[in-house]
Each structure stands twice: as structure tokens, then as C-alpha cells.
Structure 1
Amino acid sequence: MANGLTVFLGGAGMNGSYQEDMITSLRQAGISNPAYGNYSGLFKGVDEHLPSSLDTLGDASAVVFYNQDKNDPIALQLVNTNQCKVEGKYSALGLVVHEYSGRNSLGEECARYVLRYELSTPRDVNFSLQTIGINNQRPQRGQFNFIGYSWGAVIAARTALYYANLQVEVDHLVLVGAPINLSLLRAVRTHAHIRNVIVIDLKQHGDPIYAGMSDAELITSVPILASQMRSGSGEGHFYYAVENGDGQTRRHLLARSLFQKGLR
């Protein structure tokens, strides 16, 4: 029986040689049986036959449909209401008006009334290892870990919750540059069967993405992300994805730091 399993899920498209390099770095750092997976947000089942750029765009576009807890409605709104206190809720014809008070996660005064359109689109809640492209069986001994980067952090969080809800212990969930909503962040942090959640935001490198952000912030960050991606220099959100010597060094240091934080 395999001794432990650590699953790495990369950024939108889940392609690029940096994924294999990340696995090598994890193994060299002393973390057992690392493997990288693949989950396509919009093109599931056919993504391997598409140009990588289209697959990447599909995953990036799908973030808003997966980045909240499965019990939280998919809602389209352009107002940051994270940490606002809900004073009332009124709904009709699929439109929902929330009444808020207090201040949001940016310290701004909450909008009094916010109109949301809550989607009823069903979401795939089966995030088994096989569904995310991992052929390994769930370990019966050793650690069971998930490391997600960008889009992969969304799927890592949902996968960890999938197993935690089945009463399976997840030892470590690592979220790097995670564009997840506050509801999903709270869900993984408070679940009794997810022992340790490690959040690594990349703000110090110029990344506008952070765990617990609102969809409003996610949408307004798109021009910055597009500019950072076009530069190809590994700045900002793409700090760990650049495929050069600097990227290899960064991934090696990341793996070593995760080992020091307890991943085995």
C-alpha cells in the first residue's frame, strides 16, 4: 500500500512543464508520492484535444461557478459584500435583494441593498481522485494532502471538502494564489476532517488574487492578470508558474517550506 499521497493541482488549463517540476521539487523535499491532476471547468472530457490556450481560458472563466462552498448559491454581483452583516433577504423571479450593514473585507462601508442573480445551474459535486485525473488510490496510511495553485486551489479546496464530507481525514490543504470566495475559505477552515489549511497569498509579488476575495474583486483583477500573463516574466499571480530557472528555484523553495510546515 502506498505511503501517503500529495496531489498538486495547477493553474487554469492545468498544463505546462512547471507541474512536473513541482512534483520533482515536492519529492526532493521529502514529501511522499506527489502526483499532479487535471480538472477542466468548461471542457471536461475534451480538454486534452483542445489548444492549451483555449483550455486555460475555459478554466479561468469557470472560476465563478466553483469558487464557493457547494451550499452557497452561485451569484452574479459586482459588489464586495464579504464580511458584511446580512440584515434581510428578499427574492422574486430569481432576483435576490440582500440588505447589508457594516464594512466589507476592504474596510469599505457595505452597500445597503445589493441585487444578486442567483443561478440554479447544477454543479458537479463529485471530486473524487479519479474525477480530478489521479489514478492513485486514497492512502490507507501516511498523509493525504492537496496543494492547489490558482484555479487548482479552487478544485483542491472542493476536493478536500468532498473527502472530508465522507469522513476522510485530509492532513493538509495548501491554497496558493487562491481565487476562492469567503464561503469556501470558511468551509475548509472550519471542517473537522481537514486538519490544516495553509493559505499562501502572493500579494507581495503583485498578485491581486487572494483567498477570501469577492467575485467583484476577481472580475476587476482580470486586466492585471492578463498583463502579468502576457509578460511571461513570472510576476504577480504567475510567480510559481514561470518555466525558467527562476521558476525552478521558487518551486524548490516552496516545496521545502511546505515540508517545514509539516507536509510529508
Structure 2
Amino acid sequence: MQPVKTVNVQLTPIEDRNPVKIYLLRPRGTLYWGGAGLDGPYVQPQLAAFRKAGMAYCFAGLTNSATADIPEALKPAGTILDAIRSGMSIRYRDDGEWTITSGMAAEAPQFNLIGYSYGSLLAAQTAWSYARAGHVIDHLVLVGSPIDKDFLTDLQQHKSIRKVVIVDLTRFGDPIYAGMPWTDLVACAPLLARQMVAGRGDGHFYYAHVVGDSQQRWAALAQRLASEGIAMSVKPLLLRCVDLVAALLALDGIIYAAAILLTPFQRADMYTGAPVVYLATALLVAALLLLLGLAMLLIAWVRRHTYRRRLTASYIGGATVFALGLALGHGWIAFRLS
């Protein structure tokens, strides 16, 4: 689903002065760019690990790779070109336009950009472009990033980028780190080449090479990012909350009916005794729950959540059980006093 925000603007052509409805992209969701080539065998498993950790609306970034639209036989050359670009140009700030063309979801609660190695530079440039355009980036995550120090500082200081998370892999033997000078990057090129050719998941390729414990590595990275506050899915959260409200409403009605059925009372108690206390308490609790549930349903319908009908059915079900409990209690009172 493409994220769209509807606004009314005043356009004034000579022959027509009525307001015209237009549609603006509203960036939402979590995008993950892999390393050079953007198509390594680790990309989809890493995305799966992100989703399993609770980061819903997570998609692969597919923009700005030299491997795009070239024959399969030439893909390795495109990957090498991506690596060269990362060291020569993309690691520095670019004030041009970096636009996301796919992989967003209007219902996502946050806008997060995650990148690994070359992909971290694409994430950084995209964040800078969207932030300068006035959009809020909730999290920018740079994993094993050779980003320039000045560009990194600009990102960290921009008011529209709420949090920059740096995940250096130096503890695994990676010579690359965020903010490193170009001379250090050039000097470590032979070591990077050896790590890449070895294919053992060492150093800079800790997450890129598929090895025996890769699943654990991807899961650990996902948990680390989830702990940084990257959004869990709003749908399950709303489902849990509305279901809880519905259950409490039903329980409120059941408790009221049970209290009326089990409490002896006289006609004089109708206005001062236990029945009126039970009724007042039940109605007060029900009113609060109904308002809370209604507010959550409003959010679901305004944001057009896929589960909005399921939420509505749960809410109505809880309210119905409460009403039945209320009716049962009043019926018992009428029977006792008849």
C-alpha cells in the first residue's frame, strides 16, 4: 500500500478558483538496504528476523544500486561499483533528492531507515533528503557504515531525524566504523577484500555471509534494533487493547448480574441499598470502557487498518455481553419485587 496523505490546497488558475484535492506521499514504514548490490542472500532472512522481533511493515530498499537493470552475468561488476561509490562519493552529504519509490505502508506508526555497509549510506542520504523536505525520520540505523564524520554530524543534529543508531562491527574484526576518515577507509581495503573472499562471516561481513550461526546473528541484530524503539506493529497492539476493553466490558456485565443474583435485598434497598451501588459502579466502569474502546475504533477507521472490522466486532461483542448482564440483573430485580 502506498502511503498517501490527502490535503486540500487553494489552486487559482484563471478559469477555475475552486479548491482542488491533491495527494502527497507520506513516508511510513521501515526500509532496510543491504550491502553493495542490495541483493545478498542475507537480505530476506534479515528482514524476516526484523519482523519476528516485532518490527512490522519492514521492506527491502531497492533504490540506487549499480546492479539494477543489468544482466545477471554483470551483477558482480555492479556490486563492485557500488562498493567503489560508497568510498568515493555516497559517504559524503548530498543535497540532491533521494526518493523512495516502493516499500512503504500508510498504516505504519513510524518512518525508519536501516542500512548495512553500502546500504547504510543509501539510508543516510535518503534520511537527509526526507528530513530536509520536512518529513520526520523516527530512526536512522547505520550498520557497519563508512559514513563521513561531517555528514554523520549533520544527520545527528537535524531536528527531523529523531534518533541515529550506530552499529559498528569493530568487535567482530571490521576495520570500518562510522565517521572514519577516507585515508583509513582506503588503507583497510585489502583487509576488506580478504574478509569478503574468505566467506566466513568475519569482520565487515559478519551479517552478510551465510554461515552456521547466521540465524542467531540476524536475530540478535533485530533484537538490538527493537530495543532502540523501532516500532512494533500497531495492528496487534490495537487488537490486544480493543479485545481487552471488550473482555472488561463483558466481565463488568457478568459481575453486575452475579452481584444482583447473589445479594438479598428488600424493596427499600432499590434507592439506597446494594442494587443502586452495583448499578452505579457497573455503569461508571462501562462508560469509561466504552469511551476508551470508541477512541481506539476511531483510530482504526481513520487510519483504515486492515483489522478495523474485526476490532469493531470485538467491541460490539463486549458491549452486547455487558447489556445482557445489565438486563439479567434488572430482570432478576423485577422478579424479586413482583
Alignment pair present for 1:126 and 2:97: yes
Matching residue of 1:195: 162
Matching residue of 1:70: 94
Alpha-carbon distance in 2 for matches of 1:190, 1:209 = 22
Matching residue of 1:208: 175
TM-score (normalizing by structure 2):
0.58
Alpha-carbon distance in 1 for matches of 2:149, 2:70 = 29
Give aligned pairs, total.
206
Q: Deviations over 1:85-142 (max 9, x none)?
A: xxxxxxxxxxxxxxxxxxxxxxxxxxxxxxxxxxxxxxxx221111xxxx23464650
Alpha-carbon distance in 1 for matches of 2:134, 2:177 = 28
Task: Return the offset for 1:32.
Answer: 1.5
Alpha-carbon distance in 1 for matches of 2:104, 2:58 = 13
Of the candidates 82, 91, 96, which is equivalent to residue 59 of structure 1?
Answer: 82
Alpha-carbon distance in 2 for matches of 1:40, 1:163 = 16
Task: Return the offset for 1:50.
Answer: 4.8
Of the candidates 125, 141, 153, which is equivalent to residue 186 of structure 1?
Answer: 153
Of the candidates 220, 239, 242, which is equivalent to residue 187 of structure 2?
Answer: 220
Alignment check: 8 A CA contact 1:169 1:193 kept: yes
Structure label with greater radius of gyration: 2
Task: Return the offset for 1:45.
Answer: 4.8
Matched residue type, 1:54: A
CA RMSD of aligned residues (A): 2.0
* 3-state secondary structure, aligned to 2:47: helix
Alpha-carbon distance in 2 for matches of 1:6, 1:61 = 26
Alignment check: 8 A CA contact 1:138 1:144 kept: no
Segment drifting more, 223-232 vs 4-13: 4-13
| Greater percentage in helix | 2
Alignment pair present for 1:28 and 2:28: no
Shift in alpha-carbon separation, 1:138–1:27, aligned structure 2, 3 A: closer
Task: Return the offset for 1:70.
Answer: 2.2
Of the candidates 229, 237, 242, which is equivalent to residue 204 of structure 2?
Answer: 237
* 3-state secondary structure, aligned to 1:210: coil
* 3-state secondary structure, aligned to 2:213: helix
Matching residue of 2:241: none
Alpha-carbon distance in 2 for matches of 1:20, 1:255 = 13
Matched residue type, 1:201: D
Task: Return the offset for 1:58.
Answer: 0.8
* 3-state secondary structure, aligned to 1:195: coil
Shift in alpha-carbon separation, 1:47–1:126, aligned structure 2, 3 A: farther
Matching residue of 1:77: none
Hey, which bits of structure 1, 4+ residues long, moved more than 2 A? 1-4, 38-41, 43-52, 136-141
Shift in alpha-carbon separation, 1:239–1:45, aligned structure 2, 3 A: closer
Matching residue of 1:153: 120
Matching residue of 2:317: none
Alpha-carbon distance in 2 for matches of 1:129, 1:241 = 23
TM-score (normalizing by structure 1):
0.73
Matched residue type, 1:11: G
* Long gaps (5+) in structure 2: 4-26, 232-338
Matching residue of 1:108: none
Alignment check: 8 A CA contact 1:40 1:47 kept: no
Alignment check: 8 A CA contact 2:30 2:104 kept: no
Alpha-carbon distance in 2 for matches of 1:139, 1:187 = 28
* 3-state secondary structure, aligned to 2:142: strand
| Greater percentage in strand | 1
Alpha-carbon distance in 2 for matches of 1:7, 1:137 = 8
Alignment check: 8 A CA contact 2:173 2:204 kept: yes
